[in-house]
Amino acid sequence: MARTKSMLGLLPVSFIVGAGLLTLAGRLSETEISNVILISIDTCRADHLGCYGCSNGTTPHIDALAREGVVFSNAFTPAPMTLPAHSSMLTGMIPPFHGVHDNVNYRLGDSAVTLAELLRGSGFQTAAVIGAYVLGSHSGISQGFDTFDDRLVADGGSVGSYPERVADDVSRLANAWLAQQASSPFFLFVHYYDPHDPYTPPEPFASRFKDNPYAGEIAYTDQAIGQVLDKIKELGLYDSSLIIIVGDHGEGLGEHGEAKHGYYVYNSTTKIPMILRVPGYSSGRQVDQAASLTDIVPTVLAQLGAPVPPSIQGENLSPLLSGDGIEGEGRCVYSEATEAAKFGCSTLRSVQTGTWKYIHAPRPELYNLVTDPDELDNVVDVYSDRAGTLQTRLRQIMRQQSRPDRSDNVVAMDPDRLARLRSLGYTGGSYDEDFELDSEGQDPKDFAEVYAKLEILDDCVKYRDHAGARQAGEEILALRPDLVQVHHILGRVAIKEGDVEAAVRYYTEALRLDPESVRAVSWYYNLGMLMTRNGRLEKAAEYYRQAIRKARRDGGSSPDPNRSGQSAESLLFSLHDNLANILLHQGKFDEAVSEYRNALRIKPNDAQVHYELGIAWSRLGRASEATAAFRAVLRLAPNHTRARRALEAIARQQG
């Protein structure tokens, strides 16, 4: 069922904080915890940290904390994607329940209850410093934070549409907030984005890790985390703070043919580092039992003596922190990947224990993680009973932990937001939220070659490599000529290259393949512009009319989820204006007047359209209407010389 904010009332009176003190009912340790600090490293593989066996010196500061804490050697994310993973991290829910499955077209709904809300409602000061736009306040992650710093700035200090900020800036802002905390308790969430593609660490890390820039990004982030840990110690807060360092997901780095993340649910992208330093617990422990990002919220609440809301799917890890927990095969950890589903493939869902991992797909997979940690030997046929048991458990999770009402999670993207998400490498696409396990659709493994080329295409577009984009796109179409998205992208590339013939070909084919696409309005619009450029005005006018009809059928929805800089309303205005200009040029003055007036209903203060309307009225011999239109121009733009001359000409004609 949908959750509401009334869950805040579940906290006991003993949990209300006064003067930084907590009543720690139910905790195993008597050491007081006054503060909670949650540090998230985006796109961080566990095997690149020293405390997880990496020997190249990437993470001395994190390793030092790990020696004082507990390292979970088998921790996993519910989704190898930033926003869904952080939604789980901060709510304790898996994606089918909190309803966030992608970075684009989703937000964490207001009905969700975050750790920040639970703690703020009990007297904690709450703050977050965000490293990338994908977790900006629009994402819904900001719920419950008194201070939510997502103001990404340029090097010169100006606030604007910047996709991310570097780790040093994140630490500087986090430390500035810490320095202002005269009293406890507080909850601080710090998010670092640097290990995300592209891998461009600063010096000296670029030189130290020139053969592995991804590792260089993690080393740079570790240094920045060290700055925050040093500040906590300097302020005398270290011994009373519960500190968690965790990754949101990993990175493919070529394993299983996946360069980045989000496509598969193999452990290269789902296994994460998770380290907890809890005052009063024995240090230097390693826990091998399967754990999840969803376990952070219930564990923090339990450590603070607070009840864990029953709808949270994560588990309280407190018994494992002290070594009293029983490690076994009973726990199943859930993960999902929806990226391939945007292209008609099956959604990938998995469950895993400490030993076994089952991936549900049209061709299901089963791996023994003890003997085959790299997941290279699919033994689903050998251990079919084991696979069946895990499939049944997955089906139970899907049925028990899927929330039927997800209306507050799906959002339409405005052009500015889409442009900034695209600058981070994220692309939109539809995803059918069907939570029944089935084997319909193409297996993502069979689409992997095409998807790898799609990533190359997106990178070429992102870095304005038009020739590379054209080559990658044509290679994709040779394999899958039905991919409308590729025709759409290549049409945009052709326009930028000035290749009118190619642009017309791509957009025409896109319309043939998917005439009801939400992008169809912009395809018609671009075809109209191209026909106008070639002097084919009758054809251009027809394309504009088709675009207007489609926009009206869509009810004003966004004409193009990947188009930046122009809203649906603005595009409709341009369509009416462009069509009116063609009609005026063709001598169809009555029709031109009608279209200009349609445009002015959308933007009534556009001086140029009022001027064009005045010209159309003049050609019809309607002096009074033309006079009114030209006077409207001068009210809006007093220095509009041509409108003033037109009024003078009308006055002379009238004697």
HSE at residue 18, side-chain half, CA atoms within 13 A, is 3
Mean pLDDT over each residue of the chain, to the nearest integer: 87
Q: Are 313 and 93 in contact (CB under 8 A)?
A: yes
Tell me, yes or no, whether 538 and 650 share the same domain.
Answer: no
- In this prediction, residue 629 carries a pLDDT of 96
Residue 54 lies in a domain: yes
Tell me, yes or no, whether 599 and 612 share the same domain.
Answer: no
Q: Side chain identity at 560, as an amino acid letter? A: D
Instruction: Please state the rounded mean pLDDT for residues 26-34.
Output: 64
Residue 356 lies in a domain: yes
pTM score, two decimals? 0.84
Instruction: Kindly calculate the radius of gyration of the chain based on its CA atoms and give it in whole angstroms.
Output: 29
> Quick check: 159 pLDDT over 50?
no
- In this prediction, residue 389 carries a pLDDT of 95
Instruction: Please state the rounded mean pLDDT for residues 498-520.
Output: 94
- In this structure, what CATH number is given to the domain that contains residue 59? 3.40.720.10
- In this prediction, residue 474 carries a pLDDT of 97
User: Of 174-178, 350-354, 426-430, 478-482, where does mean pLDDT reach its minimum?
Assistant: 426-430
Residue 655 lies in a domain: yes
Tell me, yes or no, whether 218 and 310 share the same domain.
Answer: yes
CA angle 411, 251, 257 (to 5 degrees): 105
Tell me, yes or no, whether 599 and 609 share the same domain.
Answer: no
> Quick check: 354 pLDDT over 90?
no
Instruction: Please state the rounded mean pLDDT for residues 364-387.
Output: 97
The runs of H, that is alpha helices, within 498-567 are: 500-513, 520-533, 537-554
Tell me, yes or no, whether 83 and 107 share the same domain.
Answer: yes
> Quick check: 16 pLDDT over 50?
no
Residue 111 lies in a domain: yes
Domain end, chosen from 400, 430, 451, is at 400
**Number of compact structural domains in the chain:** 3
Helix or strand (DSSP H, E) at 75: strand 75-76
pLDDT classification of 104: cutoffs 50, 70, 90: confident
435-471 confidence digits (pLDDT tens): 556 667 899 999 999 999 999 998 899 889 999 999 9
User: Of 15-19, 136-140, 292-296, 430-434, where does mean pLDDT reach its minimum?
Assistant: 15-19
- In this prediction, residue 280 carries a pLDDT of 79
Q: Longest Cα pair distance anywhere in the chain, in angstroms?
A: 102
Q: Are 278 and 303 in contact (CB under 8 A)?
A: yes
Q: Are 409 and 83 in contact (CB under 8 A)?
A: no
Tell me, yes or no, whether 610 and 597 share the same domain.
Answer: no
pLDDT classification of 8: cutoffs 50, 70, 90: very low
Tell me, yes or no, whether 524 and 632 share the same domain.
Answer: no
d(CA 271, CA 249): 7
d(CA 37, CA 187): 6
Instruction: Please state the rounded mean pLDDT for residues 592-621.
Output: 96
Tell me, yes or no, whether 229 and 358 share the same domain.
Answer: yes
- Comparing CA positions, the residue from 627, 532, 622, 624 lying closest to residue 586 is 532
d(CA 119, CA 21): 13
- In this prediction, residue 513 carries a pLDDT of 95
Domain end, chosen from 383, 400, 417, is at 400
Residue 473 lies in a domain: no
Residue 26 lies in a domain: no
HSE at residue 651, side-chain half, CA atoms within 13 A, is 8
Tell me, yes or no, whether 142 and 197 share the same domain.
Answer: yes
pLDDT classification of 492: cutoffs 50, 70, 90: very high
d(CA 94, CA 399): 12
Tell me, yes or no, whether 653 and 594 share the same domain.
Answer: no
d(CA 652, CA 625): 16
191-212 confidence digits (pLDDT tens): 999 999 999 999 999 999 999 9
Tell me, yes or no, whether 109 and 242 share the same domain.
Answer: yes
- In this prediction, residue 325 carries a pLDDT of 59
Tell me, yes or no, whether 554 and 623 share the same domain.
Answer: no
Helix or strand (DSSP H, E) at 76: strand 75-76
Residue 459 lies in a domain: no
546-567 confidence digits (pLDDT tens): 999 999 888 755 445 344 446 7
Token pair of 319 as six digits? 């018994």
d(CA 407, CA 164): 29
**Phi, psi (5° rounding) for residue 475?**
-65, -40
* Residue 352 vs residues 262, 295, 307, 482: alpha-carbon distances, Å: 18, 15, 27, 35
- Tell me the residue range of the domain where 520 lies: 515-603
> Quick check: 574 pLDDT over 90?
yes
Residue 485 lies in a domain: no
Judged on CB neighbours under 10 Å (0-12, 13-18, 19+), 601 is exposed
Q: How many CB atoms lie within 10 A of CB 149?
A: 19
Domain end, chosen from 400, 431, 460, is at 400
- In this structure, what CATH number is given to the domain that contains residue 562? 1.25.40.10
Between 499 and 12, the higher pLDDT residue: 499
Q: What percent of the chain has pLDDT over 70?
A: 84
